[in-house]
Amino acid sequence: MKKRNTPLSFVVHLSLITLILAGLMLFHPASADAQAPYKIGVTNSVTGYAAGLGASSKNGIIMAVDEINKKGGIGGHKLELVMYDNRSDDSTAVLNARKLIEADKVDALIVGAYSGACFASLDTAERSKIPMFSISAGTKLWKPTRPYSFCVVPSGEILERVRARWIKEKGYTRVAELWLNVPAHEEYIGFFAQEAKNFGLTVVANEQHKANDTDMSVHLSKIVAAKPDIIKVSDYAHTGAIIAKNAKSLGINIPFLACYAVTGEVWLNLAKDAAEGWYGAVVSHQLGTQTPPWRPTYPIVAAFAESYHKRFGESITATSGNSYDSAYLIAAGLKAVGEEPDLARRREKLRYTIENLENFFCLNGPYYMSSNNHNGTGEWAISIVKIVNGKMVLQ
Amino acid sequence: MLLAQCVVIGIVNGCIYILAALGWMIVFNVTRVLNFTQGEFVMLGGMIAVTAVAMGISPPVAFLIAIIITTLMGCIVERAVINTLRKAPDTTLMIATIGASLSMRIGALMIWGWEPRDLAPFTQGKPISFFGAAIVPQAFWVIGATLLLVAGLFCFYQYSLLGKALTATSIDQEAARLMGINPSKMSIIAFALASGLGAMGGILVTPIIMTSFDTGVMISVKALVAAVIGGFKPRGVLIVALTIGLIENIVAGFISSGWRDIVSLTIMVLILIILIPRLVSVKG
């Protein structure tokens, strides 16, 4: 007897086929997701007072991700960037971080490019159990160690040890501090006070100013009255240029030693001849093609500097390099994780693999991450330069 | 030396605030609207001048171009925002100017990027020593130009028919209308004056403080404080703007930069309570 095709049997057949297909998908989730990209969430200061840092940070991340994707991504997965502007505002940075974690479901976060945004976002990342890379020199961002917080920027602690040692070696003893009041720079002052004791230096003046100050002549006049041997500047490029110009106007002949957030192309373009003779502590990769060829980082730094200049028409900065390294460390961590379809488990494994990256080589030299060191850099990542004819010359 | 330096920098800063605060005052008196694009006119003046000079145009011509373009922008803002929404409540108009200000700032960011720009001082030369304070030649330009502009504005309001028409509109718009004065025309003239003044301020200060897409914000906030505490009256605005510049630098010099805004604004409020009623007559 021939079986009749009723509407009921059609529905039953269709349901069976759907169930079989669903079952196949359930037992082969990895194959279905094989090409799904890994997402890196970025909340950066593209506008606002820290826009200078944010713009180069963004460029560094874009470069790293494009390079990785051109090489085929990570185990077949492309890297995808989800980027928001935090407008140099701490609250916006936190909101962006939450949006990236909860709505965009990113694998890891990069927060920058100023200390306030990074410190504000720390708790959100820790609570959400997602690896977060800070683009700021704040040592407290990674020390004491928090499970999910990483920061590859050579920290204030390292910076101040290098600056104090160099000041001592030059034979200066009386040091004046002039700094922009942001959390990272406040840390610098504390670290330098410790290092000053270790190296027998005396801090004879301590002047701070705000981001919207337009003239620092008054601060400099107070510093000069304290008769320092050297003036240590912890600032940003724009305000650092105002300081250089003010110092030139006041005819100050005392040497200046700036930090890496000041010393760079933007500052040199703004300060022009007022920058002549200044010393600057730079993140070593800022030397770009001027990096001494004997340094192990020379090939990677020179290649990065050239490609960066070709693509963005500007020189590399400390921030662009640190952001580039952060993206590469995330990629290295994801590669070590391998296939893990569950996002929460992938984030947890990523935290673990980054923490265990040892002798991972990038722009800042080798990184030695461990469970009690989420920074991984050392004094080798900082160099002292002098501005001669508008160029940075290694000292 | 320190006090002299504080006073010199204070006067220069005060002059910058005066130019921006007069812009706030001119527009408010005619339209009764707080025009939040005032700071952007300062930014635009500086940015356009820097761009024109970078294109090889001689500085005086470049400055003139910057003033003309910024003045035109002022007129466009007036027509697009104030005139279009003229029947809306004052609060709506104020919020609309905040929107226009944000648009201008983002536009500037898109055109010029985030990087601060610099302009060479109008005259080269070494700083001049005055009671131990170093005064850069550009400071004389800022102070001199501010004095000239304030004097010119005074003469314009006092002796020209247009100036008197603006004064009449600011006192009583309806009465002015009955006398044949067109308030809409006065509104656009007020915006042209305010934006032109802002542009001049921007050009004058760029060699000292440089300029970037968000330069206008920090200047206009202090200028607004000066305009409000000065009661939107010329004498009050001049005194308050100059005093803010002086106090904030003396506080930065003798106390700390961190206390600058708190102390200077507290002192300004005290001045408002105690002195301003005596300095500025109720009738203006």
Query: Per-residue pLDDT for chain B (284 aa), expressed as one digit of tens each?
Result: 778 888 988 999 899 899 999 999 999 988 888 899 999 999 999 999 999 999 999 999 999 999 999 999 999 999 998 888 888 888 888 899 999 999 998 899 888 887 788 898 898 888 888 777 888 888 899 999 999 999 999 999 989 999 999 989 888 888 888 888 888 899 999 999 999 999 999 999 999 888 888 888 878 888 888 888 888 888 889 998 998 889 888 888 888 777 777 877 787 777 767 765 655 554 44
CA angle centred on A347, ends A344 and A351, rounded to 5°: 140
Q: Across the interface, do A210 and B127 touch by the CB < 8 Å criterion? A: no
List the structure tokens of A150.
């990483």
Q: What is the separation, in whole angstroms, between the first and last Cα of chain B? A: 38
Would an 8 Å CB–CB cutoff place A73 in contact with chain B?
Answer: no
Q: Across the interface, do B256 and A208 touch by the CB < 8 Å criterion? A: yes
Partner residue opposite B9 with nearest CB, options A212, A218, A270: A218
How much is the pLDDT for B276?
57
How much is the pLDDT for B279?
52
User: Is A18's pLDDT higher than 70?
Assistant: no
Minimal-distance CA residue of chain A relative to B5:
A218
Distance in angstroms (rounded) separating the CA atoms of residues B27 and B38:
9
CA angle centred on B73, ends B70 and B79, rounded to 5°: 150
CA angle centred on B70, ends B38 and B194, rounded to 5°: 40
User: Is A323's pLDDT higher than 90?
Assistant: yes
Give Cβ neighbours of residue A376 (< 8 Å, ≥ 6 apart). Answer: A152, A357, A360, A367, A368, A369, A370
User: Is A2's pLDDT higher than 80?
Assistant: no
CB B232 within 8 A of CB B280: no
Whole-Å CA distances, B206 to A106, A270, B46, B201:
42, 12, 6, 9
Which candidate in B257, B261, B264 is best for mutational testing of the A interface (most A CBs within 10 A)? B257
User: Is A317's pLDDT higher than 70?
Assistant: yes
User: Is A1's pLDDT higher than 50?
Assistant: no
Whole-Å CA distances, A395 to A234, A294, A368, A388, B71:
19, 15, 26, 11, 50
How much is the pLDDT for A12?
53
Distance in angstroms (rounded) separating the CA atoms of residues A42 and A108:
9
Contacts with B209 from chain A: Cβ below 8 Å:
214-215, 242
Partner residue opposite A222 with nearest CB, options B16, B253, B261: B253
How much is the pLDDT for A14?
54
Query: Among residues B29, B54, B21, which one has the least CA distance to residue B221?
Result: B21
Would an 8 Å CB–CB cutoff place A161 in contact with chain B?
Answer: no
CB A97 within 8 A of CB A121: yes
CB A112 within 8 A of CB A88: no
Contacts with B249 from chain A: Cβ below 8 Å:
215, 218
Contacts with B7 from chain A: Cβ below 8 Å:
none
Q: Across the interface, do A238 and B116 touch by the CB < 8 Å criterion? A: yes
List the structure tokens of A115.
């200390």
Partner residue opposite A217 with nearest CB, options B5, B106, B114: B5
How much is the pLDDT for A34?
54
How much is the pLDDT for A8?
55
Regarding beta strands A391-394 and A382-388, do their DSSP bridges make them parallel or antiparallel, or are they unpaired?
antiparallel
Whole-Å CA distances, A201 to A169, A172, A205, A220, A279:
11, 8, 12, 20, 18
Q: Is the dihedral of CA A68, A159, A211, A248 positive or negative?
A: negative
CB A52 within 8 A of CB A238: yes
Q: Across the interface, do A51 and B209 touch by the CB < 8 Å criterion? A: no
Backbone angles phi, psi at A45, to 5 degrees: -85, 75
CB A393 within 8 A of CB A378: no
Q: Across the interface, do B218 and A214 touch by the CB < 8 Å criterion? A: yes
What proportion of chain A, given as a percentage, has pLDDT over 70? 91
pLDDT, one tens digit per residue, over A175-231 is 999 999 888 898 899 999 999 999 999 999 999 888 778 888 889 988 998 999 999
Would an 8 Å CB–CB cutoff place B210 in contact with chain A?
Answer: yes
ipTM: 0.75
DSSP codes, A37-56:
PEEEEEEE-SSSTTHHHHHH
Q: Quick one: which H or E segment has residue B88?
A: none
How much is the pLDDT for B282?
44
Query: Among residues A247, A42, A328, which one has the least CA distance to residue B5?
Result: A247
Minimal-distance CA residue of chain A relative to B124:
A249
Would an 8 Å CB–CB cutoff place A207 in contact with chain B?
Answer: yes
CB A166 within 8 A of CB A385: no
User: Is A58's pLDDT higher than 90?
Assistant: yes
Contacts with A48 from chain B: Cβ below 8 Å:
214
How much is the pLDDT for B200?
94
- Dihedral angle at the C-alpha atoms of B67, B71, B73, B75, nearest 10 degrees? -170
Whole-Å CA distances, B240 to A173, A226, A316, A378, B232:
44, 33, 44, 52, 11
How much is the pLDDT for B219?
83
Q: Across the interface, do B208 and A214 touch by the CB < 8 Å criterion? A: yes
Contacts with B39 from chain A: Cβ below 8 Å:
none
Select the more confidently predicted residue: A230 or A269. A230
How much is the pLDDT for B6?
87
Q: Across the interface, do B115 and A210 touch by the CB < 8 Å criterion? A: no
pLDDT, one tens digit per residue, over A73-115 is 998 999 999 999 998 889 999 999 999 999 999 999 999 888 8
How much is the pLDDT for A28?
45
Would an 8 Å CB–CB cutoff place B1 in contact with chain A?
Answer: yes
Check whether the bond before A144 is cis (ω within 30° of 0).
yes
CB A167 within 8 A of CB A175: yes
Distance in angstroms (rounded) separating the CA atoms of residues B42 and B211:
9
How much is the pLDDT for A32?
42
Distance from CA of B218 to the nearest CA of A (A): 7
At A27, the pLDDT band (50, 70, 90 cuts) reads very low
